[in-house]
Amino acid sequence: MSDTADKVKKIVVEHLGVEESKVTTEASFIDDLGADSLDTVELVMAFEEAFGVEIPDDAAEKITTVKDAIDYIEKQKSA
Amino acid sequence: MFVHLEAPRRVVVTGMGIACPLGLGVENVWKRMLAGESGLAAIQSFDVSNLPAKIAGQVPVGTKAEGKLDINEWIPVKDQKKMDRFIQLALVAAQEAVEDSGWMPGPDQEEERCRTGVMIGSGIGGLPTIYEASLLIAQGKQRRISPFFIPSALINLASGHVSIKYGFKGPNHAVVTACATGVHALGDAARLIALGDADVMVAGGAEAAVAEIGMAGFCASRALSTAFNDAPTKGSRPWDKDRDGFVMGEGAGVVVLEELEHAKARGAKIYAEVIGYGMSGDAYHITAPTEDGDGAFRAMRAALRSAGLSPAEIQYVNAHGTSTPMGDDLELQAVERLWGDEAKNLAMSSTKSAIGHLLGAAGAVEGIFSILAIRDSVAPPTLNLESPSRESPIDRVALEAQPRKIDIALSNSFGFGGTNASIIFKKAA
């Protein structure tokens, strides 16, 4: 697993207060991890902070799973 | 609109909860108060070197078993960041009150849930949360403001969180009348039940402004004690000649109010009945009371009138008594004027001497102390009242608790803006 994936999952565990084992790559923040819409806004902010990237609102809306977050951040970092 | 209302219904108290500088739990706090203990101390949780007032009453940190607060035992970590401390304290006191009352209708009791409401107010609400957000904006970090910032700071979110937690779907309301908030919340909620809007109301006040921004603000308005920084437990000394301002406190008081027949039908424990409630405005000054204490006088008189009582029938008054040079004597004067020749039979104390001034939570916490004074036939003490600034025929219960026959008690709260409220409790029949 990549460093990015590890770090994303760690942030998700901290912010949503969920078991690490539930945070699979495919997990949806809202459907699987009990987040609400405000939680997802906060999660995206935490990703921005942790990875030093800017995630505009239209892109943030499409980040609904752990995989979405990892993919978006890796793309930004390699850009 | 109101022509179809039935006759007012009777309202009783069936549950109580407290988080205050003397600790958590009604019985724990009351025991310590009657023993003459103080919850005031030097502030350690933030830097006070630039503040003239350096003492406060803060909810002690420790385990639930010790009667202290470890917030992790009460609220999941991920939810804590969604609410300012005043909401957290409200949830702690509400949990005790609701569990004490035994009124927890389940998801299948929709009608009961819809007949149960919440009215928990605050004087200032999420002031520290607003401060934190302001710092980000000052640094140009507008986009770092948490999505939970607004719901964390809003005063009515204490009521909101309690209703969400327990599924209470009745009236959801919040009082904001500065230091009169707690009494207004109890009185207004009792009226909602009396008039038929709800059968049960979870009511009270919560405050957590013991932070740099809250302390600095009250210091600026010259309201706080500054002469007892080296002797914190001496700082709050209502009616004493050396008093020099109030001591900030934090906490929450929550009660479960219930329609009398509703409470009887389910065999609930009844602590007391709410029999009177009165309000007034000073129309005078933003922070100072009128020089004749007339606002306090009229609030108490209105409460007596609504209860159909004469002053002589009240044995105990829990005073607003904040330990400010001006306010204490004006309230005393108002009580003496209203009681007249009966003043010599009255006991009146200020429990702020032990816990400081809990602002919007004060009236709710002190309402609970008034109810306990009735239950246990004892007047809690006014600590530090060593040399009264003036004599009075009223027994101000100096230094030590006094066993007294108390069937009916009145509690006062007055707030900035010239708002005054009095509530009267009677021993359950």
ipTM over 0.85: yes
- Please report, for chain B, the start and end positions of each structural domain, with discontinuous segments joined by +: 11-266, 278-427
Place of tokens 């203990």: B37
CA B85 distance to own-chain centroid: 16
**Mean per-residue pLDDT, A57-62:** 93
pLDDT at B159 over 80: yes
* Distance in Å, alpha carbon of B82 to nearest chain A alpha carbon: 10
Mutation for testing the B interface, residue in A40, A45, A48, A61 having most B CBs under 10 Å: A45
B20 as an active site residue: the answer is no
What is the band of B267 on the pLDDT scale with cuts at 50, 70, 90? very high
DSSP-assigned letters across all residues of B333-357: HHHHHHHGGGGGG-EEE-THHHH-B
For residue B426, the SS3 value is strand
Mutation for testing the A interface, residue in B72, B78, B79, B150 having most A CBs under 10 Å: B78
For residue B195, the SS3 value is coil
* Distance in Å, alpha carbon of B166 to nearest chain A alpha carbon: 19
* Distance in Å, alpha carbon of B144 to nearest chain A alpha carbon: 7
Model pLDDT, residue B429: 79
Query: Are the Cβ atoms of A42 and B143 closer than 8 angstroms?
Result: no
| Domains B11-266 and B278-427 fall in the same CATH topology | yes
pLDDT at A1 over 90: no
Taking CA B412 as the corner, what is the angle to CA B315 and CA B427, rounded to the nearest 5 degrees?
Answer: 40
**Mean per-residue pLDDT, B284-291:** 92
CA–CA separation, B138 vs B145, rounded Å?
11
What is the band of B272 on the pLDDT scale with cuts at 50, 70, 90? very high
For chain A, how are helix, strand and coil distributed in percent, rounded to 5?
A: 60, 5, 35
Query: Are the Cβ atoms of B78 and A16 closer than 8 angstroms?
Result: yes
Model pLDDT, residue B160: 98
Query: Are the Cβ atoms of B147 and A16 closer than 8 angstroms?
Result: no
Query: Are the Cβ atoms of A38 and B147 closer than 8 angstroms?
Result: yes
Query: Are the Cβ atoms of A42 and B148 closer than 8 angstroms?
Result: yes
A41 closest CB neighbour out of B82, B147, B151: B147
Domain B11-266 classified CATH 3.40.47.10? yes
- The CB-side HSE value for B121 (13 A sphere, CA atoms) comes to 25
H runs (alpha helix) in B139-267: 149-153, 157-166, 181-194, 212-220, 260-265
Model pLDDT, residue B328: 97
For chain B, how are helix, strand and coil distributed in percent, rounded to 5?
A: 40, 20, 40
Model pLDDT, residue B406: 98
Chain A, chain B: beta-carbon pairs less than 8 Å apart: 20
**Mean per-residue pLDDT, B212-229:** 96
Model pLDDT, residue B383: 98
Model pLDDT, residue B2: 75
pLDDT at B171 over 90: yes
Q: Which of B427, B346, B361 is nearest to B394 (CA)?
A: B346
Query: Are the Cβ atoms of B144 and A45 closer than 8 angstroms?
Result: yes
Which DSSP symbol is given to B40? Answer: E
- Please report, for chain A, the start and end positions of each structural domain, with discontinuous segments joined by +: 3-78
Tens-place pLDDT, residues B365-376: 999 999 999 999
Model pLDDT, residue A77: 83
Residue of A nearest to B78 (CA): A17
Tens-place pLDDT, residues B292-318: 999 999 999 999 999 999 999 999 999
pLDDT at B1 over 90: no
Model pLDDT, residue B83: 98
Tokens of B28: 């724990």
Task: Give, in words, the CATH class of A3-78.
Answer: mainly alpha
Tens-place pLDDT, residues B24-36: 999 999 999 999 9
Model pLDDT, residue B6: 77
Pick the CATH number of B278-427 from 1.10.260.40, 3.90.75.20, 3.40.50.300, 3.40.47.10: 3.40.47.10
Query: Is B350 in contact with B377 (CB distance < 8 Å)?
Result: no
CA–CA separation, B356 vs B42, rounded Å?
13
Q: Of the residues A6, A31, A36, A71, which is catalytic?
A: A36
Tens-place pLDDT, residues B349-369: 999 999 999 999 999 999 999
DSSP-assigned beta bridge partners for residue B256:
B15, B202
- The CB-side HSE value for B61 (13 A sphere, CA atoms) comes to 5
Beta carbons within 8 Å of A39's beta carbon, 6+ residues apart: A15, A16, A29
Query: Are the Cβ atoms of A15 and B78 closer than 8 angstroms?
Result: yes
* Distance in Å, alpha carbon of A24 to nearest chain B alpha carbon: 19
Average pLDDT, chain B: 97
Tens-place pLDDT, residues B140-157: 999 999 999 999 999 999
